[in-house]
Amino acid sequence: MGTPNIHHEIPDISAILGVLVIGCLILVVGYLFFFKFKSPKTKASVWLHRFALFTALATLGLIAIGGLVTSHGVGMAVPDWPTSYGYNMFALPFSIWFTGGVFHEHTHRQWASCVGIFVVILTRWLGGEKSRWPLLIVGGIELAVGLLMFKLNDNLRGAGGFLSGIGGVVILAGIAWFKNAPAARPLPAMGWWAFGLVQLQGLLGGLRVILDAHVVAGMKLGTVLGIFHACLAQGFFVLLCAIALLTSRWWRDRSIQHPMVSRWLRCFVIFTTVLIFLQLTIGATMRHQHAGLAIKDFPLAYGKLWPDTSAQAIEHYNSERMEVTDANPITAFQIDLQMVHRAMALMIFFGVAIAAWQIRRFQTGVRRLGFAWIALIFMQIGLGAWTIWSDKAADIATLHVLVGALSLVTGALLCIIFSDGTTKTNRATAGA
**What does the domain layout of the chain look like in residue ranges?**
14-252, 263-431
H helical segments located in 247-362: 249-252, 263-288, 311-324, 332-359
Distance CA 21, CA 46 (A): 28
First to last CA, the chain: 70
Closest by alpha carbon to 55, among 246, 252, 229, 239?
239
| pLDDT at residue 28 is higher than 80 | no
| pTM exceeding the 0.75 threshold for the entire prediction | yes
Query: Is residue 23 very low, low, confident or very high in pLDDT (cuts 50, 70, 90)?
Result: low
- Return the pLDDT at 258: 40
| pLDDT at residue 201 is higher than 80 | yes
User: What is the average pLDDT across 4-29?
Assistant: 49
| pLDDT at residue 236 is higher than 90 | yes
- Return the pLDDT at 173: 85
- Lowest-confidence segment of 16-20, 61-65, 228-232 by average pLDDT: 16-20
User: What is the average pLDDT across 107-127?
Assistant: 92
| pLDDT at residue 276 is higher than 80 | yes
- Return the pLDDT at 64: 94
* Higher pLDDT pick, 360 / 280: 280
**Torsion sign over Cα 10, 11, 17, 23:** negative
Q: Is 30 exposed, middle or buried (0-12, 13-18, 19+ CB in 10 A)?
A: buried
Amino acid at 333: F
Closest by alpha carbon to 282, among 335, 213, 241, 217?
335
| pLDDT at residue 14 is higher than 50 | no
Give the Å distances, CA to CA, from 414 to 100, 106, 308, 374, 393. Answer: 41, 35, 40, 13, 32
| pLDDT at residue 246 is higher than 70 | yes
| pLDDT at residue 305 is higher than 80 | yes
| pLDDT at residue 37 is higher than 60 | no
Q: φ and ψ at 74, to 5 degrees?
A: -115, 30
Report yes or no: 254 and 420 within 8 Å, Cβ to Cβ. yes
User: What is the average pLDDT across 356-368?
Assistant: 86
| pLDDT at residue 43 is higher than 60 | no
User: What is the average pLDDT across 246-250?
Assistant: 91
Query: Is residue 363 very low, low, confident or very high in pLDDT (cuts 50, 70, 90)?
Result: confident
**Torsion sign over Cα 235, 237, 239, 241:** negative
Distance CA 54, CA 36 (A): 17
User: What is the average pLDDT across 89-94?
Assistant: 84
- Return the pLDDT at 296: 87
Query: Is residue 62 very low, low, confident or very high in pLDDT (cuts 50, 70, 90)?
Result: very high
* Higher pLDDT pick, 289 / 199: 199
Query: Is residue 257 very low, low, confident or very high in pLDDT (cuts 50, 70, 90)?
Result: very low
User: What is the average pLDDT across 359-374?
Assistant: 88
User: What is the average pLDDT across 230-255?
Assistant: 91
